[in-house]
Amino acid sequence: MATTPLILGFCIAYIVNILMSFYENIFYTGKRSHLVAMTRRPLCMLLAFASLVLIIIGVFLLIIPELISCLQLLAQELPRSWERGVLWIQENINEERWAQIESFVGNTTWDWQGLLKKAVDFLVSGFGGMMGTMTTVITRTFSTLVTLLVGLIFAIYILMGKERLSGQIHRVSRHYLRPVWYQRLCYVVQVLDNSFRRFIVGQCTEAVILGVLCTLSMHLFRFPYANMIGALIGFTALIPVAGAYIGASVGAFMIFTVSPIKALFFLIFIVVLQQLEGNLIYPRVVGASIGLPGIWVLAAITIGGALMGIGGMLLGVPLAATAYTLLRDDLTEQKLRKAL
């Protein structure tokens, strides 16, 4: 879709603007020199992008080395498991059964030419399909990188001139809309912005809390890969409620390579922790930050996930908070009018 880079750029700009506004409120406050005015916005924007990149790199540095060591351990254990399987077969299959297998193989006639032709045809068709798949993957990867680059450039332009862009939108809206509709539009946009901003901050806070709780609990119960799995679960917890289960599946697989029993106990531990997080921590942290009661947070996640999957979970809570605030304020205003 032609508008995808623009939509992506707006989303990037909106998220980065939260950090950028935070840095702008800390640095250069009270200073009005020309040099400060020229460097404040670029420096704060650079700090915001650098903060996000450092967070992502930090998470990957915690995850990737442990994942590589897990795969190396798995590669070392596979030959031993194969040897144990062969020994089990040799111990449990007697000579009579081996003779039956050899007799079956010996009495079976094989059409080697036909099998060879089928194998060649399979390899040729598979090679053609593989080349087509590789071409598709390369094309999509290149297209994704171009889209991301254009979106990033668009986001930088938005962040650098957000006041001018906002002023232009206000002038156009004020000119073409009636004053009542213009005021209502500004109010709805303000409530929507507050809901999304508070949701993002609350979601990040909740992810940090869950990651820290998971890491400390895993150290307490002496589970392996505690730091790596805690960071992974905290990172995937940015997806409401269901995200922790995604990280837990990877963590359970890694623990399984060390001890299947510990992997089972880990799954039980994650289910309990996720129930506590989903029913107690998440509604209170995220719900309190956006002004939405806990029951409506769970309802928004459930309905949004059923309609649009992960995207619906991410959008459902702030949209529900916006609708809840607008409805509450409208009812309060009507009540005041009746009282007067």
Q: Is the pLDDT of residue 88 over 80?
A: no
For position 29, what pLDDT does the model report? Answer: 63
Amino acid letter for position 281: I
Cα torsion through 306, 310, 314, 319, rounded to 10? -30
More confident residue, 126 or 64: 64
Q: Is the pLDDT of residue 92 over 80?
A: no
CA 288, CA 114: separation in Å to the nearest integer? 70
- Token look-up 């399987």 returns 85
CA 237, CA 251: separation in Å to the nearest integer? 14
Pick from 52-56, 122-126, 231-235, 252-256: least confident: 122-126
Local confidence band at 89 (pLDDT 50, 70, 90 cut-offs): low
Which residues are within 8 A (CB) of 5 and not within 5 positions of it... i.e. 6 or more apart? Answer: 147, 150, 151, 154
CA 156, CA 60: separation in Å to the nearest integer? 25
CA 218, CA 205: separation in Å to the nearest integer? 20
Token pair for residue 83? Answer: 């040897």
Could you state, in order of their start, the residue ranges of all structural domains in the chain?
A: 1-91+116-176, 178-340
Chain centroid to CA 275: 19
Q: Is the pLDDT of residue 110 over 60?
A: no
For position 1, what pLDDT does the model report? Answer: 66
Q: Is the pLDDT of residue 40 over 70?
A: yes
- Token look-up 């992506």 returns 8
Over residues 279-330, the pLDDT tens digits come to: 777 666 666 666 677 677 778 878 887 887 777 777 888 888 888 888 888 7
CB 187 within 8 A of CB 177: no
For position 303, what pLDDT does the model report? Answer: 84
More confident residue, 74 or 215: 215
3-state secondary structure of 20: helix
Eight-class DSSP state of 279? I
Over residues 191-246, the pLDDT tens digits come to: 888 888 888 888 888 888 888 888 898 889 888 888 888 888 888 877 765 666 77
Candidate ranges 74-83, 98-107, 271-280; pick with highest mean pLDDT = 271-280
The share of the chain scoring above pLDDT 70, in percent, equals 70
